[in-house]
Amino acid sequence: MNTIDTFRGAELHGRPAVSRGFAGRFVFVLGSIARQIDRTLQRRRGRLALMEMTDEQLKDIGISRCDAHREGIRPFWE
């Protein structure tokens, strides 16, 4: 194994494995929080869309009206 391969092995997700300063860590944490909020909002929009579907649409995807309602009223954090 040569030096370049060793350095490439140290990278995680395309980011170098060197230590970040405070600003770099802060930006990373803010990005992580933003991604989590985005995933939560996407999940909520999907649940609301289930509740707006017609019985025929729900039947097409194999979900009963009761299941759609149960999923739609779940809290956003679940």
What pTM does this model have? 0.61
Distance CA 5, CA 37 (A): 36
Of the candidates 30, 77, 74, which has an alpha carbon nearest to the alpha carbon of residue 51?
A: 74
Residue 47: per-residue pLDDT: 93
Burial of 53 (0-12, 13-18, 19+ CB in 10 A): middle
Residue 14: per-residue pLDDT: 58
CA atoms within 13 A on the CB side of 48: 7
Joined tokens for residue 31: 């990005």
Q: 51-78: per-residue pLDDT in tens?
A: 999 999 999 999 999 999 999 999 877 8
Q: 11-44: per-residue pLDDT in tens?
A: 555 555 556 788 899 999 999 999 999 999 999 9
Distance CA 74, CA 78 (A): 7
